[in-house]
Structure 1
Amino acid sequence: MTEPVSSIRNLGPAYEASLFRAGVTSAEQLRTLGADAAYAKLLESGDRPHFIGYYALVMALQGRPWNDCKGAEKDALRVKFDQLKLRHFNKNISALEADLDEIGVGLRR
């Protein structure tokens, strides 16, 4: 029997629905993909990047509370998040709009 994504601690129905739209339909599939590949799928399916959502996913797959990430570990995850965002989100926007998005004043999607 397949476990739903929401069976993983800290991943509720909303996260499960987003992952489903991105093609990740079970907890097993999510664990196999890992946080980075699953988050890339979310971005490619149109979900807006959100750092807390990313590190909550990382923590959930490690069986840790979502807010357990601190200090150097959090800084390292921010670097990975920024790389994922650059590679997998908004590939079809202008350079100006990408810069505006980066500072938080771009178009709301």
Structure 2
Amino acid sequence: MSINWILLIVGGLFETGFAISMGKAQHTSGKESWMWLAAFAVSVSISMFLLYKAMGGEKAIPVGTAYAVWGAIGAIGTVVAGIFLFKEPVTFWRIFFLSTLVISVVGLQVVSES
């Protein structure tokens, strides 16, 4: 796995971070809300920067693949975090479609390596 894929995965995790921060900011008020908004700003900045870096350099990941994988990592992480942090429901169909998303991300990485 190249450094660009590692950057992309970490960037996707920070995307999860900024989504969680937005959710937490909506459920708080005052100083705590501002702290979550600051966490959002930091997370979104790091996430975008790592996406940018993953698409450049010697082993650049094509923009279509990079953006799809980055977004999927963020989406998967956000759904899982929503289940554990916000007590969102766990249903068969949510898990089914989350699984198809995971399979798609792995497939994109496999075909992009060749």
* TM-score, normalised via structure 1 length: 0.35
* TM-score, normalised via structure 2 length: 0.34
Q: Please say which structure displays the higher CA radius of gyration.
A: 2
Identify, as 1 or 2, the structure richer in helix.
2
